[in-house]
A and B are shown apart, each in its own frame.
Chain A
Amino acid sequence: MASGPSADAVPTVMAVPAIRPRPGLAVRFLRRHPVGTAAAAFIAAMVLAATFAPTVAPYDPLTTDYGGMFRPPGRDHWFGSDAFGRDVFSRILYGARTALLVGFGASVVGATAGAVIGMASAHFGGIVDLVTQRLVDVLLSFPLIVVAMAIVAVIGVGTDKLVLAIALSFLPRAARVVRSSALAVRETVYLEAARAMGCSHARIIFRHMAPNVMAPYLVMLTSFLGQAILLEASLSFLGLGVSEPTPAWGLMLRGAAVDFLQRAPWMAVFPGLAISAAVLAFNVFGDALRDALDPKLRV
């Protein structure tokens, strides 16, 4: 958790050298960032739980029990049961699938697409850069959730659509960040050499620029993960995410969880805890990764 200076600051525009895999990187990370490692372990546990949900979960997350509604947490239902008599614990386990799928999917797609656009914008420069950046300006002038809502309204609901909507709303941010890093490497001698040698645009972008923007890209990617999970929860809470009966944390907080807050508080407490824990783990891991990757901070 010991994130260094500029934990929040923006990729101050430095040429970040490419990461060169060195032996013992993982070991060094573990030694320098014990909390980050713990977060990584938690994430791994979450992935495992989600993958093996069918064997881990005590109940089927979809099975309704109209006679067993609003059961408080106890031996039968560790986290209680919901308004349809479904087991909250099992739904949270299965909900991790939705969260991770949307989290990873949206972050990777959004960050990667944004990175490509950002690098291309920096590489071509001139009018291409100007137009792209103005477009990015336009998209950045709306709150993230409003952009996501608009995209969901156009393309519809469902897990796959949700990934696309969140990825698209990350795209301008990613493009902006990567562009500023790419701009810095653009002027370096060896990229000039590459241009002089007549390398193709694609080659310059993917072989020469990409390795150099890897560090900010990875840092950005991890910070997107937490945000994507939060955004997914918010959209599902608004009814713009996945549909019932698909288990999803934000969806579990919606409707009955709020309506019967006093009568069955467990319906609102546990899914919220799950969201918070997951986002926390990704954020802490992201901070540690930023520390590890940003040479400026490695004092």
Chain B
Amino acid sequence: MGAPHAVGEAASCLFPPLRSGRWVARAVSRYILSRLLLILPTLLAVAVLIFLLLRVVPGDIVELRLVLGGSYVTPEVIAAERARLGLDAPLWEQFLTWMLGIFRLDLGRSMWSGEPVAREIGLRLQLSLQLALMATLFATAAAIPLGVLAAVFRGRWVDHLVQVISVAGLAVPSFWLGILMILFLLSVFQYLPPLTFTPLWVDPKANLAQLIWPALAVGYRYSAVATRMTRSALLEVLGEDYVRTAWAKGLAGMVILRKHALRNALMPVVTVIGLEFAFLIGGLVVTEQVFNLNGIGKLIVDAIGQRDYTLIQGLLLLVASGYILVNFLVDLIYAWIDPRISYR
């Protein structure tokens, strides 16, 4: 298992293991092909799992929408609404309808709002993508220099300081950090970030004023993961023979670091960043709650709360495919770059 990373937003345990082997182009393409072939059944399994899981979860959207609050409603009306939403059809039929829709690139309509699922998701994706990007930028900008510093000055006070910062970053819940930020802004500057979302191109200032805080809160934890990864990967590389050789050849420290060590050490770091990014899009459930952000995470919570089957199905499928795709890309990059990987 990887770092003690926090809730929902990590996957370092999935690293393709490094093994020594011979570089054979045919093997690589066969490997890629086999990985590609595995994607479809995995996605199908994801779809079946989501579908079945939802049907096991107790609760009913019709009950929530028509009965809650004691509206004076008759059983006939309830039955009619269920029929309208297609909830009275047998399970296999509902699943088939959903699947056929997906093959036509149609995720159906939200049972709650009646809007196309793709549109509901699209509206929130913008915010979530931007937030994930900002957090990634922040995390990368902080993690790589800090990680390098810590590795180069291993065991010295710089290293210890970096380690303290990053170990704390893994322990502090992002949503609590968010709460503290709001408290700080409110009591010191009497300032509250904007409450509603403005797209970046409409008003960059308002947009950034809203998203910078959650990006920082999430980015801190994220950068802690990446800092530790940078440090340990670099240390590992610095111990390799070719780096020792470079030292022996009398190359300058910076050159070795840049040309040899860092380049090789970056791969696992890029992987961590990539996979974390994929998880950030759907995994910021709690942080979005704290900052009143209308993103994918909140949509997942709302959709589950409303038992909006079509919307949850679409959302979870999207989150899972995003992750599987990033994972595949990471594998691809590995195969391309690192000649030492063997492909069974």
Contacts and interface: CB of A to CB of B under 8 A. Distances in A.
B187 A262 contact: yes
B8 A276 contact: no
Interface string B278-322: 010011011001100000000011001000000000001001110
B196 to A, nearest CB: 18
Q: Which of A141, A226, A257, A287 has the most CB of B within 10 A?
A: A141
A113 interface: no
Given A1-B163, A180-B17, A253 B268 contact: no
A147 B304 CA distance: 12
Interface residues of A, number: 69
What are the 7 tightest A-B residue pairs by CB atom distance, in nearest-first order? A143-B283, A145-B8, A143-B8, A280-B171, A144-B8, A272-B176, A220-B1
A35 B236 CA distance: 23
Interface in B172-203: 172-173, 175-176, 179-180, 182-183, 186-187
Given A145-B283, A153-B57, A173 B13 contact: yes
Given A141-B46, A283-B167, A146 B183 contact: no
Contact of B324 (A141, A143, A150): A141
Contact of B183 (A142, A149, A265): A265
Interface stretch (B61-69, B82-90, B224-232): B224-232
B13 A134 contact: no
Nearest to A9: B232
B16 to A, nearest CB: 10
A223 interface: yes
Contact of A149 (B45, B285, B321): B285
A16 to B, nearest CB: 13
B49 interface: yes
A135 to B, nearest CB: 7
Contacts of B173: 230, 233-234, 272, 275-276, 279
B42 A7 contact: no
Contacts of B236: 5-6, 9
B301 A150 contact: no
Given A8-B232, A144-B7, A231-B6, 13 more contacts: A7-B231, A8-B3, A9-B232, A138-B49, A142-B320, A223-B1, A225-B4, A231-B8, A261-B186, A262-B186, A268-B176, A283-B167, A287-B167
A234 B7 contact: yes
Contacts of A73: none
B183 to A, nearest CB: 5
A269 to B, nearest CB: 7
A3 interface: yes
Contact of B7 (A7, A134, A231): A231
Interface of B: 1-15, 17-19, 38, 41-42, 45-46, 49, 53, 56-59, 155, 160, 163-164, 167-168, 170-173, 175-176, 179-180, 182-183, 186-187, 225, 228-229, 231-233, 235-236, 239, 268, 272, 279, 282-283, 285-286, 289-290, 300-301, 304, 316, 319-321, 323-324, 327
A277 B289 CA distance: 23
A1 B289 contact: no
Interface in A99-152: 134-135, 137-138, 140-150
Interface of A: 1-13, 134-135, 137-138, 140-150, 153-154, 173-174, 176-177, 180, 216, 219-220, 222-227, 230-231, 233-234, 237-238, 253, 257-258, 261-262, 265, 268-269, 272, 275-277, 279-280, 282-284, 286-287
Contacts of A149: 285, 300-301, 304
Q: Which of B3, B9, B49, B57 has the most CB of A within 10 A?
A: B3
A146 B17 contact: no
Contacts of B172: 272, 276, 279
B181 to A, nearest CB: 11
Given A2-B155, A143-B319, A230-B6, A12 B18 contact: yes
B301 A238 contact: yes
Contacts of B283: 143-146
Contact of A177 (B13, B45, B282, B286): B13
